[in-house]
Structure 1
Amino acid sequence: MTTKLSLATLKDVSGTASVPSYDRGSLKAGIVHFGVGNFHRAHQAIYLDDLFNLGRDHDWAIVGAGVLPSDAAMRDKLAGQDFLTTVVEQDNNRSGARVTGAMIDYLAPGNAAATIAALADPAIRIVSLTITEGGYFINPASGVFDPTHPAIAADAADPGAPKTVFGLILAGLKARRDKGIAPYTVMSCDNIPGNGEVTHAAVSGLARLSDPDLADWVDASVAFPNGMVDRITPATGPREIGIVADEYGIADAWPVFCEEFKQWVLEDNFPQGRPALEEVAVQFVADVAPYEHMKIRILNGGHAAIAYPAALLDIHFVHEAMEDADIRAFLAKLECEEIIPVIPPVPDTDLNDYFALIEHRFSNPKIGDTIPRLAQDGSNRQPKFILPSTADRLSRGEDVVGLALVSALWCHYLAGKTDSGKAISFNDPNIDRIHAAALAARDNPAAFLELKEIFGSVADSDLFRRRFADALQTLQRDGTRATLKRYLEGNLAN
């Protein structure tokens, strides 16, 4: 028997899941969050739920905000259970469920006026975002805001009826400025180097297209703290919904599964105040960059490295990829020989110990994280997670055999078939262009490197071009496993 999750049934589900110790009715909104996906509900919302359970800062509850039409489904499901979420935390030796209540409302997509009104409320002091790496309208190769993107151009032409996250944020800021209300802090929670700076560039860059004075005010008055976020959170499907129902007796329309580990490192730049997140283990530091480099290159880069060989070998789950001796050894050799050596020191952190933790986390069989999730959106993830390490090594005159192999594996994957001949289903906003380039690379490897918006100056390196071509031709001729073995034996580079 299952119990439908709601405020009215919290007592009923408390036998199998921990539930909020605070009165949800005591919460007041202090944050508007764009991008209410699984990661947000397993990360930022968890930290706030922990804080509220301590009896602290009940005026910092979350109001979700939808932008895309697809957000309506999430909003409807969460509204049907009073915006509660079942979060199942899973370690190798432990699983446990909790119900979180940090979100108290969710603004439906398509109603810009209602969202702008909420943003103009003086009670809202932070606006946060989890909109994925590809949601910031930046050139993948340069990391620079792209003011020519059609969605940005449309918001610039009609700033009173914005349709993008940044158009809405800017309209809210303008409303506050016009009313003499102090601006909120804008806090990115996405895996992007310098995510606060990138967000600032998007908001200010959009403003400059239609209202330079507003852009100047944003530059002078609005805080955009950088932050590093970390928690492995797979997608939700029938499997996860079924586990919550069968093992915990809870009917949750969109539960979240995640690993037990979580981390959040933030610059303490919140002029209008912030919740006391240091009470629940958020690290506040003067400079987030070292932590970002470590996490994005070792963890996210590691995910990108194993995604494509695993996909080509028809491996579905991440922990199964780590059980494959060749893939695990490939990851270790790549990280220890090419990625970790170009990462700057991180305070009070041994990078080799950090990588050992990553190996352990990737190997967790309880989470059910999937290779298709890691393989999606490569056109945005490769330039952020892999190619910066490549560029750093090339600038130092160092070899890139393993990193070039990662790029070649991505190209080989994009050709469309696994080594066994199965068709690959893609999930990438730029798939038409990159798939065509991958097909052209079957005869001419350099054709793939003509994706300059992805590879940037890396593609100009003769060494990289040679290493990439060698790896891709070996993959095409001998297959994924034989190529991995050649790399592990030190025989891939000619």
Structure 2
Amino acid sequence: MTPTSYQYQRENIRTGIVHIGVGNFHRAHQQYYTNLLLENKDQQQWGICGIALLPSDEKIVQDLRSQNLDYTLTVCGRDGKDEVYTIGSLTELIWGIEDPKAVIAKIADPAVKIISLTITEGGYNLDKETNEFNLKDENIQYDLKNPVTPKTVFGFIAEGLRQRKKNDSGRITILSCDNLQHNGNTAKRAFTTFIEAQDHSLADWVKTNVSFPNSMVDRITPATTAQDIERLNQKSGSNDKAPVYCEDFIQWVIEDQFIAGRPEWEKTGVEFTDDVTAFENMKLSLLNASHTLLSYPSFLKGHRKVDQAMEDESIVRLIRDFMNIDITPYVPAPAHTDLDLYKQTLIERFSNHSVSDQVSRLCFDGISKFPVYIMHNVIKMINDDKDLTRIAFLIASYRHYLKYKTDDKGFSYDIGEPWLTKDDQALINSDKSVDFLDLSPFKSIELKKVNAFVKLYDQFVKDLKNNGVAPVLESILN
């Protein structure tokens, strides 16, 4: 299968966007849209400079540099037919560990009009209980005191903006592309809190020179293993060190609040709106929340691929019941959206054998995902005296996953929880199951004081330990 290559001349593309966090999702989503857009000669000022800030980014940086920053994207169709694209919209790539001054200079470049971000749900340094920016973090404290040699994304952007202000380089938009409720508002709270603590003069400049639009992003993009690289290159006839693969569904809805201009992404299918709330609520409450619900019971039953889990009728019924009974009452459909069709499409997307996403990816960093995807609707359910059975089962499953680290088939596993604290670990290890409800994602609503929930949860904890997931799940299905 020969990749579809871009037709524009790379030497004609100018950099107008800086993107921090050059991971698989960004390369399957924002880069995909931008690669299509650059075929328009009047849009060729919108190339993307990727910025990587972590020590662990070295391999992807070197791999992409070795192939002139081009890479292949395999779009996996639900009908079994794949399409492969060569993506050329990544015009520059800077590794902050190697050249931090170049990161700051690029943010300050007057040709750059947008700083976009995929730094993960946990990357905004918000307290899991209060949702406030954590100024006490060790690296944040360092950056506050050492603005010229930053370590964090907040320090780098603050110093870049300070140079923009000093050099009169113009206004700029900070565009979050992370799965967060009101991600633009979240980014604004995080960055402005940091900047106000560091530099009052810069904080005043930011108020009138930086915009933070909310956006909703959607495209299932698995991690790429060594086996995937070999498989993808065999299919495409390429020798790509950094290929990406994703599903055929894609969506991006953005509030049109770009203070310094923007690409005409609408030419490639992006939707601009005055208010993204209904779209993000639908996506986070149905897709992301269902992914979280699916993840821990599926993993504990021994499923390692999402499409495999979707062949398990009990998992499918759990997801359908959750979406239809628990969540739909709290999801007003956006304009021109058929919610029933959207939910059925989610089932088809999860079941896509060509994508075959990893369940472990969905399990990763649950401590950051629960507050964003699950708890805001749990609060509504409690206030409305709704049935909490599936929520209690999910949280009991999450505890079992974190505590015992062995699935129902006897296989041990490592957990991926980068933001877990020592206090959290003590709550997980406690023999009193109710202590787990003091874990940071749950404390904001004090689940342990909701008697109806605690009764269900305690029973599920005992049943999961004594009987395993399968019979417990069967007992709660409608």
Pairwise CA distance, 1:431: 4.2
Pairwise CA distance, 1:419: 1.2
Q: C-alpha distance in 1, partners of 2:163/2:96?
A: 19
> Is 1:282–2:270 an aligned residue pair?
yes
Cα 1:260–1:142 change in 2 (3 A) is: same
Aligned-residue sequence identity (percent) comes to 34
Pairwise CA distance, 1:300: 0.6
Candidates 283, 308, 317, aligned match of 1:329: 317
> Is 1:102–2:89 an aligned residue pair?
yes
**Aligned residue in 1 for 2:452:** 463
**Aligned residue in 2 for 1:218:** 206
Compare 459-468 and 292-301 and name the one that shifted more.
459-468
Candidates 122, 137, 155, aligned match of 1:167: 155
Candidates 48, 56, 79, aligned match of 2:65: 79
CA deviation profile, 1:266-321 (whole Å, cap 9, x unmatched): 00011111010111110101111111111011001111011001110111100000
Secondary structure of 2:55's counterpart equals coil
Candidates 28, 39, 43, aligned match of 2:25: 39
Compare 51-60 and 112-121 and name the one that shifted more.
51-60
Instruction: Give the letter for the 2:474 counterpart.
Output: K
Pairwise CA distance, 1:454: 4.1
Instruction: Give the letter for the 1:86 counterpart.
Output: T
Candidates 374, 389, 401, aligned match of 1:401: 389
> Does the CA contact (< 8 Å) of 1:24 and 1:101 recur in 2?
yes
**Aligned residue in 2 for 1:428:** 417
CA deviation profile, 1:109-156 (whole Å, cap 9, x unmatched): 222211111111100000000011111001123322222222211111
Instruction: Give the letter for the 1:174 counterpart.
Output: R
**Aligned residue in 2 for 1:18:** 4
CA deviation profile, 1:167-205 (whole Å, cap 9, x unmatched): 111111111111222121000000011111111111111
> Is 1:314–2:310 an aligned residue pair?
no
Q: C-alpha distance in 1, partners of 2:330/2:381?
A: 7
Q: C-alpha distance in 1, partners of 2:442/2:68?
A: 42
**Aligned residue in 2 for 1:144:** 132
Q: C-alpha distance in 1, partners of 2:420/2:125?
A: 17
CA deviation profile, 1:326-378 (whole Å, cap 9, x unmatched): 11111111111101212233222122221111001000000121111111111
**Aligned residue in 2 for 1:3:** none
Secondary structure of 1:284's counterpart equals strand
Instruction: Give the letter for the 2:47 counterpart.
Output: A
**Aligned residue in 1 for 2:352:** 364
Q: C-alpha distance in 2, partners of 1:470/1:233?
A: 36
Instruction: Give the letter for the 1:439 counterpart.
Output: N
Cα 1:208–1:432 change in 2 (3 A) is: closer
> Is 1:437–2:427 an aligned residue pair?
yes
**Aligned residue in 2 for 1:345:** 333
Candidates 369, 374, 399, aligned match of 1:411: 399
**Aligned residue in 2 for 1:487:** 476
> Does the CA contact (< 8 Å) of 1:390 and 1:458 recur in 2?
no
Secondary structure of 2:178's counterpart equals coil
5+ unaligned residues in a row in structure 2: which ranges? none
Q: C-alpha distance in 1, partners of 2:469/2:457?
A: 14
Secondary structure of 2:211's counterpart equals coil
Using the size of structure 2 for normalisation, the TM-score is 0.96
> Is 1:474–2:460 an aligned residue pair?
no
Candidates 46, 50, 55, aligned match of 1:64: 50
Pairwise CA distance, 1:35: 0.2
Pairwise CA distance, 1:456: 1.6
Instruction: Give the letter for the 1:95 counterpart.
Output: D
Compare 296-305 and 203-212 and name the one that shifted more.
203-212
Cα 1:423–1:436 change in 2 (3 A) is: farther
Secondary structure of 2:43's counterpart equals coil
> Is 1:112–2:95 an aligned residue pair?
no
Q: C-alpha distance in 2, partners of 1:427/1:452?
A: 16
User: Root-mean-square deviation (CA), in Å?
Assistant: 1.5
CA deviation profile, 1:471-494 (whole Å, cap 9, x unmatched): 2222122210111111115xxxxx
Pairwise CA distance, 1:243: 1.6
Secondary structure of 1:98's counterpart equals strand
Pairwise CA distance, 1:453: 4.8
**Aligned residue in 2 for 1:234:** 222
> Does the CA contact (< 8 Å) of 2:370 and 2:441 recur in 1?
no
> Does the CA contact (< 8 Å) of 1:445 and 1:472 recur in 2?
yes
Instruction: Give the letter for the 1:22 counterpart.
Output: Y
Give the number of aligned pairs: 473
> Does the CA contact (< 8 Å) of 1:38 and 1:233 recur in 2?
yes
CA deviation profile, 1:60-112 (whole Å, cap 9, x unmatched): 00001111111122111100001011000001221111101000110112222
Candidates 276, 290, 310, aligned match of 1:302: 290
Q: C-alpha distance in 1, partners of 2:460/2:374?
A: 16
5+ unaligned residues in a row in structure 1: which ranges? 1-14, 490-494
> Does the CA contact (< 8 Å) of 1:391 and 1:458 recur in 2?
no
Q: C-alpha distance in 1, partners of 2:207/2:140?
A: 18
Instruction: Give the letter for the 1:375 counterpart.
Output: C
Instruction: Give the letter for the 2:85 counterpart.
Output: R
**Aligned residue in 1 for 2:172:** 184
